[in-house]
Amino acid sequence: MNLAEYKGVFVYAEQVDNVISGIAYELLGKGKELAAQLNEEVTAVLVGADVKGLADSLAEYGADKVIVVEDPELKEYRTEPYAHALSSVIKEYKPDIFLVGATAIGRDLAPTVSARCATGLTADCTVLEIGDFPMVALPGKEDEQKHNQLLMTRPAFGGNTIATIACPDHRPQMATVRPGVMKKIDPIVGAKANIIEMKLEFVPNDRYVEIKEIVKAVSDVADIMDAKILVSGGRGVGSPENFKILEDLAEALGGTVSCSRAVVDAGWKPREIQVGQTGKTVRPNLYIACGISGAIQHTAGMEESDIIVAINKDEDAPIFDVADFGIVGDLNKIVPQLTEAIKAAKANK
């Protein structure tokens, strides 16, 4: 493998039912930043049936080029034809870096593609940076240190430590990133895509799964990743019924309720509203943590919030280490008082 042939940052522009997933725009934002550091371009890879019309929106979020692979076999996601499309793009265009969303689709697709391209994959990254590998040169081996490598950071060992991983000897350097971790750029309104169409043959084989029926899950739970204000409850809330005081506060603030994993494990709330390493990554303007201790697996999913307020009766709770404002006390008293104060302030406006 001649590493010098590999150039550019590629982003898989996931689409479902011909709608681009938000993660694609987030990855373009990060991809643009990495590409600027390497003096390279960012390219989106759009795969599907009749998807070319979506390319301009990728340009609006930073794609310098869009490679489009279209075929009727790509109408619904299936591992085999999509893996064929992506690995063919990699073999033809030789990207230095390839980013994929850690969605249900991305978690299936990225490992298959990395294996086919004989390269590594770091899953569920929380930080992506360009740097040296090893990060500190070994004494006497300074000239063996490689520069301009993708340093991929992710929680390891159940979230108890953070590992930074590189892929110095193979290309592309591949990573998946969970939705909500990276930031989109402000859209460049009216940007037009520079499209490269790639024609490939899709010959069904015994690895092509036949889709008999698609049943869509319908959820009436608000997506906590879209919320600007989250009132989040932990085990300290005490019972499912007591979440009512959090719902009242959320309603007064125009926000949404989320929770810790302890609450989901206890069966008090559905998994869709769990924040953290095995839940969702959120980035609201305001995150109010009520009765949440602040375990690293929880904070990994909310520490990028603009303002964090923590309410906890234990003044040594680790949640106060990530909080901008802390209130030490019983949430059963503080939360209703906050709700009343907010309602009163609104009434006096």
Ligand X SMILES: Cc1cc2nc3c(=O)[nH]c(=O)nc-3n(C[C@H](O)[C@H](O)[C@H](O)COP(=O)(O)OP(=O)(O)OC[C@H]3O[C@@H](n4cnc5c(N)ncnc54)[C@H](O)[C@@H]3O)c2cc1C
Q: CB-wise, 171 or 280, nearer to ligand X? A: 280
Identify the burial level of 315 via C-beta atoms within 10 angstroms of its C-beta, where 0-12 means exposed, 13-18 middle and 19 or more buried: exposed
Angstrom distances, CA of residue 269 to CA of 38, 105, 233, 242, 273? 45, 25, 10, 12, 7
Place of tokens 């949430």: 331
Q: CB-wise, 78 or 261, nearer to ligand X? A: 261
121-129, 130-138, 140-148, 232-240 -> range binding ligand X (CB under 6 A)? 232-240
Q: CB-wise, 101 or 234, nearer to ligand X? A: 234
158 makes contact with ligand X (CB under 6 A): yes
In eight-state DSSP terms, residue 143 is G
Closest distance of CB 268 from ligand X, Å: 10
Scanning residues 292 to 321, which ones bind ligand X (CB under 6 A)? 292-293, 295, 297-298, 301, 311-314, 317
Q: Are 224 and 195 in contact (CB under 8 A)?
A: no
Closest distance of CB 105 from ligand X, Å: 21
331 makes contact with ligand X (CB under 6 A): yes
Closest distance of CB 124 from ligand X, Å: 11
How many chain residues are in contact with ligand X, going by CB under 6 A?
30
Rounded Cα distance between 264 and 298, Å, is 12
Place of tokens 């809330």: 237
Q: CB-wise, 317 or 338, nearer to ligand X? A: 317
Among 21, 103, 274, 305, binds ligand X (CB under 6 A): 274
Q: What is the dihedral of CA 132, 134, 138, 140, to 10 degrees?
A: -50
Question: Kindly report the CA angle at 100 between 71 and 200, in degrees rounded to 5?
Answer: 25
Binding site for ligand X (CB under 6 A): 158-159, 234-236, 260-263, 274-279, 291-293, 295, 297-298, 301, 311-314, 317, 330-332
